[in-house]
Amino acid sequence: MEDWQEITGGVTAARGYRAAGITAGLKPSGLPDLALILSDVDAIAAGVFTTSHVKAACVDYCRQRLQAKHSARAILCNAGQANAATGSQGVKDTLESADLLAKELGISPEAILLASTGVIGQRIKMDILRSGIPKVVAALSETGSDAAAGAIITTDLVKKSIALETTIGDASGGLRQRPVRIGGIAKGSGMIHPNMATMLAFVTCDAAVSSSLWQQMLTRAADRSFNSITVDGDTSTNDSLIALANGQSRTPAITEMGPEAEKLEAMLTAVCQHLAKAIARDGEGATCLVEVQVSGANDETAARQIAKTIAGSSLVKSAIFGRDPNWGRIAGAAGRAGVPFEQDNLQIKLGDFLLFENGQPLPFDKAAASAYLKQAAAGAYLQKDTVLISVSVGNGHGTGKAWGCDLSYDYVKINAEYTT
Amino acid sequence: MEDWQEITGGVTAARGYRAAGITAGLKPSGLPDLALILSDVDAIAAGVFTTSHVKAACVDYCRQRLQAKHSARAILCNAGQANAATGSQGVKDTLESADLLAKELGISPEAILLASTGVIGQRIKMDILRSGIPKVVAALSETGSDAAAGAIITTDLVKKSIALETTIGDASGGLRQRPVRIGGIAKGSGMIHPNMATMLAFVTCDAAVSSSLWQQMLTRAADRSFNSITVDGDTSTNDSLIALANGQSRTPAITEMGPEAEKLEAMLTAVCQHLAKAIARDGEGATCLVEVQVSGANDETAARQIAKTIAGSSLVKSAIFGRDPNWGRIAGAAGRAGVPFEQDNLQIKLGDFLLFENGQPLPFDKAAASAYLKQAAAGAYLQKDTVLISVSVGNGHGTGKAWGCDLSYDYVKINAEYTT
């Protein structure tokens, strides 16, 4: 199924995209804080946004833009001020940002999408943004993805970026096979400073795809990636996932589901999962990535619900931090996920260790299982060392995954010790 | 509304009840571990149990008993082994426990309800239980509530007990007013040792009330108390709330809702809320009790949902531990509770400090607000020093409360450092 390869280039790996990231001066730290992604031509645009009822002006703005028009040219993202809970002035600032960038690029403001991350309740520093926009436009380049990835992060420890390539166009059908690329950058690591929030991901693709299909693919991919990670269960006011597809690969247009569409969606999902896992692994104070795989449920939604409940359980998370192969907490979390199953069908594995079967605990080598947890945490960032929890709840065909991290002293320290 | 007074006596405050708590030897620690509550006559019995799909044998047992017969004479509770995830042998142990106690008391096994708390996956040590049952029966006394309260706790720092008294019977209606009492004991403090779980509460009442009304009252009271507390979001395999009403107050039978029924339900709710708050305050590593009051929602369920989401947010909890008046995290948690509201109607208060109004942050004295959080945490156990978060989301009539505690280093320490 994975007939793609990883390539370099992030959001500028796909044809027809440029990007930039600069230090405009929005962050007090003096670190990069303004990013721009531009497609050379109008791109099909899809988005998935926070479901919170307290949300930033840019989220409402993007939703409205994408409802009116399923295409865009540019994504502008500022870091430093979230422009959430800023009332009508926040809305005006959003509109002015789009107008300023449109003028600078010589395009319509309707072709611009916006994202913000930073302190909730603070308006964007518009004076600084006004002088920053010409600079970020001037900095646009075909190798600008890394700079953009660095300008959207806030409390993240690392930049998050990926690009994959496959081929589209069936030789047997007389169409020439051509490469198609999808790249993405993301930010997010839970919330460190007070009111500092947000998960953002921007994805670029050079396939030609219909707007409704692209949105459907993105929604499903988001469910299987960003919506399946949990650092502390808190959803932000600014969470946004935006994906562009500009057709510059010159591959045949994909307008309905079929083998080519499935291939494209699988690669889009892989890009989103890579970024989502990078966010989970960068969770505040995390020492390891935890992957929970659930099988035997009635459907994918049920399986994912169980997986997310286990990955999000404070008790499971602190047991993993303590290197404790604690099947009881995993069983407890599975049981309270709101998905009915027969207790006697429950099976729990930790790595290769079978801990629980037919609804009852099994004897296992606790020292070896604890050692498995220890070596996972010893792995370097984004190494293969991941704690794997596998749970089966019955004979259904539904499978689902979720990702999280352990709960450490540092999570509490980071989130408690910064006082106003 | 609160026309009752607090009295002593716990579950033996109401007429016609005896209780006992002994050290049978089930706990390795040698602390008390077997409790019994007995009504002199058949009592109307109602129960609310864990919604987890992984549950203890005693939970299935009680559900079946109460479905067949809405009355009981005795509640037996062992601590040390949870008898959850113990398969068919666990079921046999449960039935044998009931038979042994019935024989010792000279009553039907069908009049016996059971509860267990302790290590998941471990059967009750039946040899010890067999020799313990005659001893706990012999220890029954009209002042035995405190001993029973001490024998049901596991990792709790304190025993939890309350009793209230009011009068039932309207003088103007020609009926003599007589005292009615409700008492309760409880255990729970989150989960400390691996697989060590459970919230238990046993309530006794001497009013005469119909079984269907008593069950309705208990279900509502549970929603407004035990189902509105959150220590770490994890629900246990053994959670049980059992309430008996034996009619020994010799007050007129309450068979439908009306002023007398409302009075009884309000007092039952107060008993449950007292015990629930004691559990939240005893949360692992907690330095204070947090009460969240939500108003302006469409209904009570919606208000409570928002209150529970705020009280359960790891970010809000760690901010309170850090004495940080962080309205952004409260707004964020309110927004993601799954209850629609207009952001512009959101108002947030911390104690007497108004932090957020009309969807926007207000200037406030941060040092004073932080000092408010500090003094709350300085309060002794069950003192009045509680952190109060008040949130209004609109003009609806729905109000709801939830209780939790802060998230401290000690929570992680307690839950991580005990390794197998």
Tokens of A9: 């280039």
Do residue A124 and residue A93 come from a single domain? Answer: yes
Q: What does the pLDDT read at residue B2? A: 76
The pTM (predicted TM-score) of the whole model is 0.85
pLDDT at B251 over 80: yes
pLDDT at B235 over 60: yes
ipTM at complex level:
0.78
Q: What is the DSSP letter of B111?
A: G
Mean pLDDT on B72-77: 98
**A155 or A76: whose pLDDT is higher?**
A76
**CATH at A377:** 3.10.20.340
Q: What does the pLDDT read at residue B231? A: 66
- Over residues B126-163, the pLDDT tens digits come to 999 999 999 999 999 999 999 999 999 988 889 999 99
Q: What does the pLDDT read at residue A420? A: 40
Where helices occur in B258-313 by DSSP H, the ranges are 259-281, 300-312
Do residue B276 and residue B298 come from a single domain? Answer: no
CA pair distance A240, B377, nearest whole angstrom: 37
Last residue of a domain, one of A281, A316, A344: A281
C-alpha distances in angstroms, B34 versus B26, B56, B79, B139, B319? 8, 17, 6, 11, 39
Q: What does the pLDDT read at residue A376? A: 76
Do residue B184 and residue B306 come from a single domain? Answer: no
Confidence of residue A229 (pLDDT cuts 50, 70, 90): confident
Query: Nearest residue of A to residue B85 by CA position?
Result: A360
Do residue B224 and residue B158 come from a single domain? Answer: yes
Last residue of a domain, one of B256, B281, B306: B281
Query: Nearest residue of B to residue A357 by CA position?
Result: B85
Do residue B84 and residue B209 come from a single domain? Answer: yes
| Cβ(A221)–Cβ(A272) below 8 Å | yes
Q: Which of A234, A332, A333 sits opposite B332 (nearest CB)?
A: A234
pLDDT at A384 over 70: no
Do residue A46 and residue A184 come from a single domain? Answer: yes
**B56 or B379: whose pLDDT is higher?**
B56
Confidence of residue B85 (pLDDT cuts 50, 70, 90): confident
Do residue B13 and residue B70 come from a single domain? Answer: yes
Tell me the residue range of the domain where B73 lies.
5-281
Average pLDDT across chain A, whole number: 90
Last residue of a domain, one of B281, B299, B328: B281
**CATH at B58:** 3.60.70.12
Query: What would the DSSP string read from start to end of A231-252?
Result: SSSPPPSS-EEEEEE--TT-PP
Q: Which of B318, B325, B415 sits opposite A420 (nearest CB)?
A: B325
Mean pLDDT on A318-337: 88
Which uninterrupted H or E stretch holds A230?
A: strand A229-230
Do residue A192 and residue A220 come from a single domain? Answer: yes
Do residue A270 and residue A305 come from a single domain? Answer: no
Do residue A183 and residue A325 come from a single domain? Answer: no
Do residue B190 and residue B268 come from a single domain? Answer: yes
Ranked by mean pLDDT, the top range of A145-159, B14-28, B326-340 is: B14-28
pLDDT at B213 over 60: yes
Is B86 annotated as catalytic? no
Task: Given the residues A50, A198, A237, A251, select the one marked as catalytic.
Answer: A198
- Over residues A235-275, the pLDDT tens digits come to 688 899 999 999 999 999 999 999 999 999 999 999 999 99
Burial class (CB in 10 A: 0-12, 13-18, 19+), A131: exposed
Query: Nearest residue of A to residue B361 by CA position?
Result: A121
Q: Which residues of B333-348 are buried (b: 16+ CB within 10 A; e: fewer)?
A: bbbbbebebebeebbb
Ranked by mean pLDDT, the top range of A188-197, B229-238, B373-382 is: B229-238
Best B193, B234, B370, B418 member to test A by mutation, with max A CBs in 10 Å, is B234
Q: What does the pLDDT read at residue A417? A: 61
CA pair distance B142, B11, nearest whole angstrom: 9
Q: What does the pLDDT read at residue A294? A: 98
* Structural domains counted in chain B: 2
Q: What does the pLDDT read at residue A378? A: 65
Q: Which of B85, B318, B328 sits opposite A331 (nearest CB)?
A: B85
- Over residues B158-207, the pLDDT tens digits come to 999 999 999 987 655 555 789 999 999 999 875 433 344 579 999 999 99
| Cβ(A76)–Cβ(A36) below 8 Å | yes
Tokens of B46: 């109602």
Q: How many CB pairs under 8 A join A and B?
A: 224
Of A216-225, A272-281, B202-211, minimum mean pLDDT range: A272-281
Do residue B242 and residue B106 come from a single domain? Answer: yes
Q: What does the pLDDT read at residue A234? A: 64
CA pair distance B43, B52, nearest whole angstrom: 27
Q: What does the pLDDT read at residue B408? A: 80
